[in-house]
Amino acid sequence: MTLYHYNRSPRLQGAVPLSSCANVAPMKSFLSHLECGLCGKTEDAGHLANLCPSCERPLLARYDLKAAKRTIRREEITRREPTLWRYAELLPVLAPEYRLSLGEGWTPLLRAHRLGKIVGASRLFIKEEGLNPTKSFKARGLSLAVAKAAELGAGALSVPSAGNAAGAMSAYAALAGLPAFVFMPRDVPPLFIAECRAFGATVTLVDGLITDCGKLAAEGVRDEGRFDVSTLKEPYRLEGKKTLGYELAEQFGWTLPDVVIYPTGGGTGLVGMWKAFDEMEELGWIGSERPRMVSVQSTGCAPMVRAFERGDEFAEPWEGGRTVADGLRVPAAVGDFLILRALRESGGTALAVSDEEMLDGVRLMARSEGVFGAPEGGATVAALRELLKTGAVDPGEQIVLFNTGAGVKYWHLFENEDRAGNS
């Protein structure tokens, strides 16, 4: 057995992975600067930053990939610790003692034979993100965002969230020893509130929608100097999520699948993967081939699907978004143009499925593969069925479904399962 001793917090100076891995090189980050994803304006990466000061759109982390290419060999990466920190050179945290880890990332890529047979796809895979700390892939983004905020000297963190982002932020803030402030709609499932409080976060319940939570959170940011870690409103959650792309390539033997089906809210994972593919090509780790990227949303909140179908560059906000999949209840995404760009450049598409179809997808994945996923994960099953039906995806293609969270966190949706007439 291999034992890993992860870097725990800035106060545990000098903690290093005590693994049997041959490679204990210092893994210096090649972060160079920030660049606006829309207007291209560059920013210094040495201070806390939110959106682009000129156009208020997301700032993206840029690396000296030429230098990285000379230094890192992909064969070396495969011997490293089984967390997303195996890609430390291509992540923004500079000082190793700030690499906050609860064991996030490096999740299994499961071959889904039985589910594939049922839906008619012979090379189907599930990326099982429900195994992450706090049981959703939000851990990837928040591990990086909190670590980098701590490194840059943030005094307190704040996030408006209806679910998994708040829990993940609270966990990593606890690990960093930073106060966490969470703003949630009063009607979020009690488990999500309890989780944040267990981690010691200050939770404010708001009568209203996530947008109202955002307004209240913004007051604390302005008046108390808290740092806002909302998705794509700071540059580094994206860097955590991009490791999904690095892992896909590594797990497929430095090739990429034909189709990626991704449940899209703010789009961080999809945009992150697309960024990772470009970085890996520059590093010489993969070629120019790309998967077709597919965004799945809920019929109750589908701003990206609508914008994709209209051919728009930006997505109009969705009025009165409703869905049981909290991760998909994002009426307006600040990175909308980046999502739409990735879908189009990849030759992919966007489609919406109903909440009922999502929950059926959860049941089917659970019964056929032993993976009890989040409704967002179930949405990818429903989307795949539709894409096979319309011929947008061929039965023999290599397809990856993203199960982005664990079904146990959505107990409220499944508590009457025995009464639902399921045999």
Ligand X SMILES: *Cc1c(COP(=O)(O)O)cnc(C)c1O
The binding site for ligand X (CB under 6 A) comprises: 136, 138, 163-164, 231, 263-269, 327, 374, 376, 404-405
Q: Smallest gap, in angstroms, from Cβ of residue 114 to ligand X?
A: 23
Q: Smallest gap, in angstroms, from Cβ of residue 341 to ligand X?
A: 15
Backbone dihedral region of 420: left (phi > 0), alpha (psi from -120 to 50 degrees) or beta? alpha
Residue closer to ligand X by CB (options 127, 385) is 127
Q: Smallest gap, in angstroms, from Cβ of residue 410 to ligand X?
A: 9
Q: Which residue, 231, 187, 229, 230, is CA-closest to 208?
A: 187
Contact 120, 388 (CB under 8 A): yes
CA–CA dist 148, 125 (Å, integer) = 32
Q: Smallest gap, in angstroms, from Cβ of residue 168 to ligand X?
A: 9
Contact 244, 140 (CB under 8 A): yes
Contact 321, 301 (CB under 8 A): yes
Which residues are 180's β-sheet partners?
Answer: 157
Residue closer to ligand X by CB (options 17, 327) is 327
Q: Is 399 exposed, middle or buried (0-12, 13-18, 19+ CB in 10 A)?
A: buried
The CA-based dihedral angle spanning residues 106, 112, 116, 118, taken in that order and rounded to the nearest 10 degrees: -130
Q: Smallest gap, in angstroms, from Cβ of residue 403 to ligand X?
A: 8
Q: Smallest gap, in angstroms, from Cβ of residue 111 to ligand X?
A: 22
Beta carbons within 8 Å of 190's beta carbon, 6+ residues apart: none
Strands 42-43 and 31-36: antiparallel
Q: Smallest gap, in angstroms, from Cβ of residue 358 to ligand X?
A: 11
Q: Smallest gap, in angstroms, from Cβ of residue 328 to ligand X?
A: 6
For 402, phi then psi, to 5°, come to -100, 110
Residue closer to ligand X by CB (options 10, 373) is 373
Residue closer to ligand X by CB (options 72, 307) is 307
Residue closer to ligand X by CB (options 96, 189) is 189
Q: Which residue is nearest to ligand X (CB)?
A: 327
Residue closer to ligand X by CB (options 7, 161) is 161
Residue closer to ligand X by CB (options 256, 358) is 358
Residue closer to ligand X by CB (options 36, 293) is 293
Beta carbons within 8 Å of 322's beta carbon, 6+ residues apart: 298, 300, 301, 329
CA–CA dist 211, 79 (Å, integer) = 44
Which residues are 297's β-sheet partners?
Answer: 352
Residue closer to ligand X by CB (options 201, 283) is 201
Q: Which residue, 104, 105, 125, 103, is CA-closest to 113?
A: 125
Q: Smallest gap, in angstroms, from Cβ of residue 163 to ligand X?
A: 6
Q: Which residue, 131, 210, 127, 101, is CA-closest to 166?
A: 210
Beta strands in 323-382 (DSSP E): 349-353
C-alpha R_g of the chain:
20
CA–CA dist 110, 124 (Å, integer) = 9
Q: Can you give the length of the chain in residues?
A: 423
Q: Smallest gap, in angstroms, from Cβ of residue 338 to ligand X?
A: 11
Residue closer to ligand X by CB (options 8, 341) is 341
Q: Smallest gap, in angstroms, from Cβ of residue 263 to ligand X?
A: 5
Residue closer to ligand X by CB (options 151, 336) is 336
Q: Name the token pair of 128.
A: 């099982």
The CA-based dihedral angle spanning residues 262, 263, 264, 267, taken in that order and rounded to the nearest 10 degrees: -50
